[in-house]
Structure 1
Amino acid sequence: MTTTARALGALKASLDRMPDPAGRAEAAALEAELAAVHGVRHAIAVSSGTAALHTALVACNIGPGDEVLLPAATVIMTVSAVTAAGAHPVFVDASRDGRGMDLADVAAKTTERTRAIVPVHLAGRTDGLLDLAAYAQSAGLHLVEDACQAQGSTTGGRVAGTVGAIGCFSLKDGKIISCGEGGYLLTDDDTFAERAAAYRMHWLTPAPGAPAASRRGMNYRLAEPLAALARHHLKGLDQAVTRRREQAHRLYDLVGEIPGLNVHAPAPGDVPNGYSALWRVDLDRPRDFSTRLAEAGVANSVGTYRLRAAHQHPACQDLSPADCPRAAQAVDRMLAVTLQQQTTEADLHRIAETIRREAETWTEVR
Structure 2
Amino acid sequence: MKIAQLLLTWYENSKRDLPWRRDKDPYRIWVSEIMLQQTRVEAVKPYFDRWMERFPDLESLAEAEEEEVVRHWQGLGYYSRARNLLQGVREVSQSYGGQVPQTKEEVIGLAGVGDYTAGAILSIAYNKKEPAIDGNVLRVFSRLFCVEEEISSPAAKKVIKQLVADEMSEEHPGDFNQALMDLGSSICIPKTPRCTLCPLADCCCAKRKGKEGQLPVKKKKAPPKAVRLMAGVIRQGEFFLLHQRPNRGLLAGMWEFPTVEIGEDGEAMDIFRQGIQEKTGQVIELERLLLQCTHIFSHRQWDISFYYCIAAPDRIVPNDRELKWVNRTDWEKLSFAGPHRKMEKYLAEKNSQESWQSFE
TM-score by length of 1: 0.23
Q: Which has the higher contact order (CA 8 A, sep 6+)?
A: 1
* Higher Cα radius of gyration: 2
TM-score by length of 2: 0.23
Select the structure that is richer in helix.
2
